[in-house]
Every structure is written in C-alpha cells, then in structure tokens.
Chains A and B, each alone.
Chain A
Amino acid sequence: MCGIVGLFLKKRALEPELGAWFSEMLICMSSRGPDSAGFAIYGESAPSGKVKLVLQHPDLKFDWSVIAHALGREFREKPTVEVSSSHARFVVNEDLQAIREFLRRNFPEVRIMSAGRRIEIMKETGRPESVVERFSVRKISGSHAIGHTRMATESAVTTEGSHPFSTGVDLCLVHNGSLSNHNRLRQKLFREGVKFYTENDTEVAAGYFAWKLEQGATLKEALASGLKDLDGFYTFTIGTENGFAVLRDPIACKPAVLAETDNYVAMASEYRSLANLPGIESAHLWEPEPAVIYNWSRTDVR
C-alpha cells in the first residue's frame, strides 16, 4: 500500500514551520505503511563550493569522527559533522564523485543517503512516529519536504529499501505503487552507466529520472518520457533543489490528493494527512489527473 506526503512552502517566512507540519502529515500515513519511513528535507544550502552529504551506518554507536578524519586526510579539508541517530550529515567540498568512490572503497558499510546543496534524506525501519522522533523532524526547517511510509511489497524491509530514493544530486523520489518493467529498465540504465544499490523498483525510477536530467532534460521533460518508459502503477512525488512534482500513471489506481493555498502546496495519499494543516478549510483541494505532470518551484530558496 504505502503512504506518501509532500509539503512545499511558498513563503520563506514559513520555513521554520516545515518540520512540525510535515511530521504530522507523515505520521498520519502510518496506517498505509507501518514498516519503515523516510523523508527528504530541503533546508539551508551548503556554503558556496560545498555540498551536504548524509551518511548512514547500521551501528548507532559508530564513531563518525573516523570518517571525518579519513575524508580530511584524503581530500585535505575539514568536513563539518552533525550526527542524528544512525545518520550523520557532512558538509564537504563539491568533489562528490571522488568522495563517493573513496567511501565505497574504505567504508563499504556506510551508506550514502543523499548528496546535494540542500537535500537531506533520512530513513529507517520502524513505525513512522518513532522515525520522526529519532530524527527530531519536528524541529527541522526548510522550503519543502517529501516523505514515505512503507508497506514493503517488492523488496525486503530494510533501511536501504526504504524511500526516498536519491540517485542524483538534490534529487529524490517517493513512490506508491509497483513497477513491472524495472528489471529490464535497470539493465538498460546499467549499460548507460547508472549505478544501483538495491533490487528495489523505485530505485530504478529514481535512476531513470536522474539519468534523463543528466542528459539535459528538464524535470518536466524527464517526467513526460517516464510516462512512456515506466510500466506499472505509480504515484510519484519528486523533490528537486527548489521544487517538487507529482505524477500519477495513466490508470491512476494509486491515490493522491493535492491542496494549495497562498502559503503552501501539499500532497498526500489521502486527505487525512492534510486535515490538520493550517488554512486547509479554504484550500483548493483536488485529485491530480492521471498522466498529468504537476510541478512547483521557488526562486528564493537559499
């Protein structure tokens, strides 16, 4: 089943509220996905020339200073580290490809959750409310966030099988549904040089969109070609550095509701998740049409 939610704030002044509003939306979707939960928050940008890297280690007691020192030695820099439960956020120089390779070679048990100027992904197995508590999501501020509560069908209940999936810089995807042509598409993308780390169908969709964007497509163009190339059931919510998008497959079996006010655009699998947002009584409420791309962005994100 799975539940997905997205909240995009239109005004900078509201950004401190993001975590609190978004947490309630996510927890409400526990009944659709009690296995695990994850979210991507787009918060304050890394300083110029730097990127944020979110890493995860299965051992809660893992000493992250080991990684900080190793990165410091290898790349002659002083990365800043902030630990949150099983995750740690590093701010590093922009040489992402080299850092990824270095981490995979030297710390294979460390997983890269996200990389980008603004994105931070955190995901864990367990009930959504406990995941929200563990990462103190209520206190996080930012311009937009997307989240997922999972009821696993396609692959095992593990941290790496949880959503969101990120395969591109500042890009991530949450998915309700299942893709039927993911094995063939994974092979095709693999030949194009796209790397995958799980057997999960959603990771293939995330990889597909990242690959399209890398080839120069706009987000809208990438999603439009996804309608042709992805076979299966899906409601996707996609986060980018300064915006978010919603897309349902042409049959539209998987639910989605959108709400828009002067202050925000909110998306959820069900209205229940939107019911406690401020101003929802007068929001424009609608169900996104099948095979229609909806996207919003802001120019003043920092």
Chain B
Amino acid sequence: MMFTQTVDLAKASVRSLNERLHALEPERDEEGWRVLNPKGAHAIACGLRVPVTVEIEGHAGYYCAGMNQKATVIVHGNVGTGVAENMMSGLVHVNGNASQSAGATGHGGLLIVEGDASARCGISMKGIDIVVKGSAGHMSAFMAQAGNLVICGDAGDALGDSIYEAQLFVRGTVSSLGTDCVEKEMRPEHYHILEPLLKRSGCAANPSEFRRYGSARKLYHFQIDHAASY
C-alpha cells in the first residue's frame, strides 16, 4: 500500500483526522492513509463515505470505523467496543481481537476479525457480513435481523437470542442457543453464501465443517397459544 497521508495521533487529534477524512472527494484517487499512535483512542475513522483505505497502526478504542460507507479500514491491533457499528458498506478488517458489540446494527459491508470477538458480536445486525476467525462471546447475534455471522471458532452462551432473519455459521462448539434460535440444515444456497465469505476473508476453513443456526420464527409472530410463556 502506498500511503499518501500519514497522521500521527500523538500530534494530531482524532477530530482533525476525521475531519480531513470526511472532506475527501469521492472522485479523487486516494491511495491510502496511515494512522500512527492510536493508543486506544475512540471513534477513529468514523463516518467515512468514500472508497479510501485507512490503516491504523496499533490498538483502537470504541466505535472504530463506525457508520462506514465504502471505505476500507484496517486495524493492526485490537479494537474496543462497537467496531464498525452501523456500517453501511465497505470493509473493516481487525487484525487483533475485538471487544463487545462488534458490527452492532450494521446494515452492509464486511467486518473481519482475525482474533476473537467478545460478547454481543453482531447484536441487532441488519445486513452486515461478519467473519470472526477466532471465537465469539455470549449473546452474539442478539436480535439479529439480517446478514451473515460466521464464527470459525466457538460461540458463547445464548447465541442468536431473539433472532429474526440473519444466518449464523459456526465451526466450533456453541455453549448454548438463545431463545428461538435453532440449528438448521446446510443446503446448497447456504454454501453459496458461506464459501465466498470465507474466501474474501482469507480463511482456509472448510465450509463443510460449519453448522448453521437461525430463527425458529416462533417468537416474533405472536401466538396466543404461547401467551403463558411470556
């Protein structure tokens, strides 16, 4: 990657970095931005709207690359709560671990976590694709509405609690399934979703090793027969 700009957060504020990234014009050919000394600062590279590439050299704090559209944000470190939250499109690639609520409410784009993601990964996801190469914590895909969550390691307790229509693929063990989340058959159309996601993420795992989980659809259609269970 050729870097056209380097911003050292030991010298510049996150606000000034984000303002410069927000001012980029979509038609200009931006090669790449490099961010030094993030030291866990919050909201780095949030709200980007152009297809620029931003590489963050170290650990980022909360809401890194939140609300992303079209941009590629690569973090060479760990990220705090809510990486790529509400992402619309583009790519966010975390080379370390992600804290809780990774990819929360995301509408589109791809989030790749090379390490583990902690609790509530993909909470309320609305169309985003998330690939976690390690394991994901408890209550992942809570109230997930659309999109795909791929977990190459294990999933914690209450996976997919109160899930709507998202697809969950897990290679390892699942500690427990949440309310209304059930294991489902892997049919050819699911391999057609999983295979390209693994390939795009640079994951060598064999798609046949994954199991699929999704909604039993008993919770979100209210049934009077179940009134006593609520």
Residues on A with C-beta less than 8 A from B41 are 272
Q: Are B39 and A275 in contact (CB under 8 A)?
A: yes
Q: Are B61 and A272 in contact (CB under 8 A)?
A: yes
Q: Are B97 and A275 in contact (CB under 8 A)?
A: no
Is A252 on the interface with B (CB-CB < 8 A)? yes
| Pick from B78, B100, B118, B119: contact of A271, CB under 8 Å | B78
Is A170 on the interface with B (CB-CB < 8 A)? no
Is A260 on the interface with B (CB-CB < 8 A)? no
CB distance from B95 to the nearest CB of A (A): 13
Is A290 on the interface with B (CB-CB < 8 A)? yes
Q: Are B99 and A255 in contact (CB under 8 A)?
A: yes
Interface size on B, residues (CB 8 A): 16
Q: How many A-B residue pairs have CB under 8 A?
A: 42
Residue of chain B at shortest CB distance from A272: B40
Is A287 on the interface with B (CB-CB < 8 A)? yes
Is A110 on the interface with B (CB-CB < 8 A)? no
Contacting A at CB under 8 A, from B97-149, are 97, 99-100, 118-119, 137-138
| Pick from B39, B81, B99: contact of A272, CB under 8 Å | B39
Is A270 on the interface with B (CB-CB < 8 A)? yes
Is B70 on the interface with A (CB-CB < 8 A)? no
Residue of chain B at shortest CB distance from A256: B99
Residue of chain B at shortest CB distance from A31: B42
Contacting B at CB under 8 A, from A237-272, are 251-252, 255, 257, 270-272
- Taken residue by residue from 68 to 85, chain B's Cβ proximity to chain A (1 for < 8 Å, 0 otherwise) reads as 000000000010110000
Residues on B with C-beta less than 8 A from A272 are 39-41, 61
CA distance A251 to B156 in the complex (A): 12
Residues of chain B having any CB pair with chain A under 8 Å: 39-41, 59, 61-62, 78, 80-81, 97, 99-100, 118-119, 137-138
Residues of chain A having any CB pair with chain B under 8 Å: 251-252, 255, 257, 270-276, 285-287, 290
Further pairs besides A252-B100, A252-B138, A271-B59: 9, Cβ < 8 Å:
A252-B119, A270-B61, A271-B78, A271-B80, A272-B40, A275-B39, A285-B97, A287-B97, A290-B119
